[in-house]
Structure 1
Amino acid sequence: MTHSNFNASDYFEKIYERPVILEAKQLSQVFKHGKTERTVLNKLDLKVHKREFICVIGPSGCGKSTFSRVVAGLDPYHSGEILVDGEPISGPSPERGMVFQGYTLFPWKTVKENVMFGPRMKGISQMAAESQAREWINIIGLDKYENQYPHQLSGGMKQRVAIARALVNEPKILLMDEPFGALDPHTRQKMQRHLMDLWQNIDITIIFVTHDMDEAILLADRIVALKANPGEIKEIIEVDLPRPRSSDVFTTPEFRRLRERVDALVHAQEDELDPALAELPKIPRMTQISTKR
């Protein structure tokens, strides 16, 4: 990886010159359980620019998934505003595609029928929907599997179909909530590479929720670090690593510097949220077999 030709300030200056595609203004989300209330998102202010790749990280319970569901229009929010191209979000829309960690394909439909579902729902003819579906199935490299059913596919294949099903609708924003969390490390790495390749070659803005700090640094232009109780933006980090990136970046001092910064942000909070972790008891000896050599 060559760093000599990469100018981080120029790169981010160009990003910030692009139109704002998503804006949260004092966005809050409150969950009510009987008489008790819990603020999950508290007055978030965030601007996402066209074609940015944003990763959202933070400790469990900080509102990462809540934020993605609000942006997707799946959940109404309590107060503030959330805008796409200046227009308020009022519910789900094909302009915001969503990929979850769990495999959400229709088990009774083939790969092709799953990808065709969105266009058909929009009233596009069978022939045109089939043509669009095939185009995306080819892009994700599953043309040999278009007539297979989800139970016949591996985890990585299912997520590629889910991505194609979201992208066939030509959304402005692709929301991904821990999409590779259930995959084995090798498949996860291949999916990360494939996603970066897709993003670099199509006109899409990605908001990607993850627990994995290495994944966030590998993928993101900027990392939005949330803190919990209540969920607020603690820091927004510019990932000043050149693109295209590969797993080789993990060995660089620049990556290690960023990793330490992100690690300190997230893990410091996890210790605060679960103080019992700092006081784990000493395990009493319950075996006579020694582990010493």
Structure 2
Amino acid sequence: MTSESFDANHYFQELYKRPILLETKNLCQSFQHGKTQRTVLHQINLKIHKREFICVIGPSGCGKSTLSRVVAGLDPYSSGEVLVDGERVEGPCPERGMVFQGYTLFPWKTVKENVMFGPLMRGASQVAAESSAREWLSIIGLEKYENQYPHQLSGGMKQRVAIARALVNEPKMLLMDEPFGALDPYTRQKMQRHLMDLWQSIDITILFVTHDMDEAILLADRIVVLKANPGEVKEIIEVHLPRPRTPELMSTPEFKQLRAHVDELVHAQEEEHLDPALQRLPEIPRMTQVSHQK
């Protein structure tokens, strides 16, 4: 779809007609730190539609990763509700796949065995699990590496295996917590493109946590901007840019304008909520006789 043929209003009208897959109602998450209680998430109200691609962004400490872990069922929440297909989230479930920034593959298992793990745990036969694993390894282009171990793979390849391991369980939603954060810029760009191709080809809803504003704009249908202390929804932005999106889009006035708006939302907060330890930095004593002045 070209920029000339893309009708953003029509796109979002159709998107909002889809069923709501994930809904959070007045979601709060707090924890006790000594004698004080810290609220990480406060009154988070979200509705995410089927096959939507949502990016969550915000300053450090705003609860981005906490939100993804709560939706995944990995962390409890203090109050409110998290509903997937109308059912309350009570814990982890294969219907909600999770991909982390760190490489969480089992190092003692081969690539194929890592992808087979989920189906086997769900009761699939060895033959069925192996067939599903090979199908997904073919989809992500790593069928030639099925018998290698994680330490033999590059960072990008490890994350592709992690994505395949999540998707082999046929989840309704894929939760991704800064999955490309540790990759070099070139590999990161390739992984973004690969993820977009996957999302456009299969029936999956994605909640993607990132601190990279360019990444959020390139990937998302909508961007959820959180503010910190406590973590609350500050703004939800519809990305009115045509798909498929390529890095060349970053040079357009439309992209730059949206980038400036997201930047203002995020960085203004970082100044407001600067870590107290960074507000009064000590003067560094001179510890060298070498001068940088000519």
Deviations 1:90-143 (A, max 9, x none): 100000000000000000000000000000000000000000000000001001
Aligned to 1:55: 55
Secondary structure of the residue that 2:39 maps to in structure 1? strand
Matched AA of 2:291: Q
Does 1:248 find its partner at 2:275? no
Matched AA of 1:31: F
Does 1:180 find its partner at 2:180? yes
Secondary structure of the residue that 2:16 maps to in structure 1? helix
Does 1:113 find its partner at 2:116? no
Q: How far, CA to CA, are the matches of 2:110 and 2:273 in structure 1?
A: 44
Aligned to 2:2: 2
Pair 283,33 (structure 1): closer, same or farther in 2 beyond 3 Å = closer
Aligned to 2:260: 260
Aligned to 2:167: 167
Aligned to 1:37: 37
Deviations 1:250-292 (A, max 9, x none): 110000000000000000001111177677789898643446x
Matched AA of 2:133: A
| Aligned residue pair count | 291
Q: How far, CA to CA, are the matches of 1:219 and 1:108 in structure 2?
A: 33
Matched AA of 2:130: E
Q: How far, CA to CA, are the matches of 2:101 and 2:244 in structure 1?
A: 25
Q: How far, CA to CA, are the matches of 2:120 and 2:284 in structure 1?
A: 59
Secondary structure of the residue that 1:194 maps to in structure 2? helix
Aligned to 1:14: 14
Question: TM-score, with normalisation over the residues of structure 1?
Answer: 0.96
Matched AA of 1:229: N
Does 1:288 find its partner at 2:291? yes
Matched AA of 1:40: V
Kept in 2: contact 1:271–1:278 (CA 8 A) = no
Deviations 1:130-159 (A, max 9, x none): 000000000010011000000000000000
Deviations 1:210-242 (A, max 9, x none): 000000000000000000000000000000000
Structure 2: 5+ residue runs without aligned partners? none
Matched AA of 1:288: S
Aligned to 1:95: 95
Q: How far off its partner does 1:76 sit?
A: 1.0
Secondary structure of the residue that 2:41 maps to in structure 1? strand
What do you get for the CA RMSD once the two structures are aligned? 1.7
Structure 1: 5+ residue runs without aligned partners? none
Aligned to 2:196: 196
Pair 29,5 (structure 1): closer, same or farther in 2 beyond 3 Å = same
Question: TM-score, with normalisation over the residues of structure 2?
Answer: 0.95
Aligned to 1:143: 143
Aligned to 1:79: 79
Q: How far off its partner does 1:2 sit?
A: 3.5
Secondary structure of the residue that 1:17 maps to in structure 2? coil
Q: How far, CA to CA, are the matches of 2:18 and 2:76 in structure 1?
A: 28
Q: Which runs of 4+ in 1 moved over 4 A?
A: 275-286
Pair 259,282 (structure 1): closer, same or farther in 2 beyond 3 Å = farther
Kept in 1: contact 2:98–2:176 (CA 8 A) = yes
Aligned to 1:210: 210
Q: How far off its partner does 1:36 sit?
A: 1.4
Matched AA of 1:186: Y
Pair 264,289 (structure 1): closer, same or farther in 2 beyond 3 Å = closer
